[in-house]
């Protein structure tokens, strides 16, 4: 199937009615057929390039469309998550702030009996500092330092160090301290006594509940957004992979067809030159054409090897060194300038089947002989 398109192209070209041999020489008929093949191959190459570019443009458009669809789906999922969790978060935040305000209106506590300094604990560090409204000085030795209240000076109170808390002292506890384990234990032991126990606990617990709800809803919304982004990335990645795979298949097919058409072009060009050289031996044109075609192919291949850096790829027994290749290439060029069938035959014998046994030559030969037979009703022997 590799060469089917090329062979069909040759048959289509040769299908045009030709003039009988009496009206034109075989050289003219053969040249005309291969000239048509040359033109058709060039046109096919142009069409192939255009189709390849069109196919790539289509792939790009499909990829852009897939990415656009993925983006639209992502936006839709984000909006759905916002509509779902936004009102719940707003409500939970409001309830949390309401609970905070209610707690701050009921967070007064009184120091209860506990013996000495709260039974030797550091519970006092959670009580709000008592401040003298006139001097803005702290009135107790130990208290919470978290309040953003200006405290002026340090040192003594009435000539003495700041006193400890006493039973019956009244102060407040901030919400961020009220739920501390030591505070709750102190309330349980009677070291501190909320003035309104029911409101103190109700509002504290309500705030904690709503705070946890805000955290949970925020996490759920975050996961929804993260999952939406993950799905979008997956769709885009799959679209990229599909494009890359399809592009590889397109490129492989394109390069193979292009190679075949370029081989057809080269075969047509070589055949035109062979027909011109063979016209010198019109009485034996078929054989002369075969010799000339084989000669030109061998010469081109030798020049290709001689001009390229030696890689050791060409290891045929008939061409066993680069020196021999160079000599043969120079000999072929010399014969080409003053071509004769005799010298070309001798040159072909020296080269042997090094190139003509290779798959590329055999594939091109099928195209050549098929068109030649279709054109001249003669089977070409090469």
Please provide residue 128's backbone torsions phi and psi, each rounded to the nearest 5 degrees: -70, 145
Query: Which has more confidence, 319 or 293?
Result: 293
Question: What percent of the chain lies above the pLDDT cut of 70?
Answer: 83
Q: How confident is the model at residue 7 (pLDDT cuts 50, 70, 90)?
A: very low
- What pLDDT is attached to residue 154? 53
Tens digit of pLDDT for each residue in 119-135? 456 888 899 988 877 87
CA geometry: angle 127, 184, 102, nearest 5 deg: 70
Tens digit of pLDDT for each residue in 293-317? 999 999 999 888 877 655 555 554 4
Please give the sequence-ordered ranges of beta strands (E in DSSP) within the chain, or none if there are none: 108-111, 156-157, 160-161, 170-172, 192-194
Which is nearest to 78 in space by CA: 231, 200, 206?
Answer: 231
Query: Is the overall model pTM greater than 0.75, yes or no?
Result: no
DSSP state of 134: T
Q: How confident is the model at residue 23 (pLDDT cuts 50, 70, 90)?
A: very low
Provide, for the chain, the percentages of residues in helix, strand and coil under a 3-state DSSP scheme, each rounded to the nearest 5: 70, 5, 25
Please state the rounded mean pLDDT for residues 328-353: 93
Which is nearest to 319 in space by CA: 304, 334, 333?
Answer: 304
Residue 368 near residue 318 (C-beta atoms within 8 A): no
Total residue count of the chain as it appears in this document: 382
């Amino acid at each position: 199937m590799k060469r089917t398109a090329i062979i069909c192209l040759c048959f289509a070209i040769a299908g045009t009615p030709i003039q009988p041999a009496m009206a034109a020489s075989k050289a003219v008929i053969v040249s005309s057929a291969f000239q048509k093949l040359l033109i058709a191959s060039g046109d096919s190459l142009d069409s192939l390039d255009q189709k390849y570019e069109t196919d790539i443009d289509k792939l790009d458009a499909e990829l852009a469309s897939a990415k656009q669809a993925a983006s639209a789906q992502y936006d839709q999922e984000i909006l759905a998550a916002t509509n779902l969790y936004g009102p719940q978060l707003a409500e939970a935040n409001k309830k949390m702030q309401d609970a905070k305000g209610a707690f701050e209106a009921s967070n007064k506590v009184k120091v209860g009996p506990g013996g000495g300094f709260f039974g030797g604990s550091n519970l006092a560090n959670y009580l709000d500092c008592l401040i003298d409204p006139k001097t803005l000085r702290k009135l107790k030795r130990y208290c919470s330092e978290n309040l953003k209240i200006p405290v002026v000076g340090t040192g003594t109170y009435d000539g003495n160090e700041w006193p400890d808390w006493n039973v019956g002292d009244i102060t407040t506890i901030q919400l961020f301290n009220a739920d501390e384990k030591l505070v709750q234990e102190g309330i349980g032991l009677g070291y501190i006594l909320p003035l309104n126990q029911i409101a103190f606990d109700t509002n504290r617990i309500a705030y904690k509940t709503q705070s946890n709800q805000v955290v949970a809803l925020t996490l759920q919304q975050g996961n929804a957004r993260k999952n939406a982004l993950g799905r979008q990335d997956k769709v885009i990645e799959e679209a990229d992979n599909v494009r890359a795979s399809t592009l590889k298949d397109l490129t492989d097919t394109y390069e193979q067809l292009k190679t075949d058409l370029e081989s057809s072009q080269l075969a047509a060009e070589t055949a035109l030159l062979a027909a011109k050289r063979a016209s010198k031996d019109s009485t034996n044109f078929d054989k002369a054409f075969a010799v000339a075609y084989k000669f030109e192919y061998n010469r081109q291949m030798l020049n290709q090897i001689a001009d390229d850096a030696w890689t050791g790829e060409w290891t045929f027994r008939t061409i066993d060194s680069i020196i021999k290749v160079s000599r043969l290439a120079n000999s072929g060029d010399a014969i080409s300038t003053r071509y004769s069938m005799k010298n070309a035959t001798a040159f072909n014998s020296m080269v042997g089947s090094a190139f003509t046994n290779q798959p590329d030559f055999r594939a091109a030969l099928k195209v050549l002989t098929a068109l030649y037979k279709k054109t001249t009703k003669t089977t070409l022997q090469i």
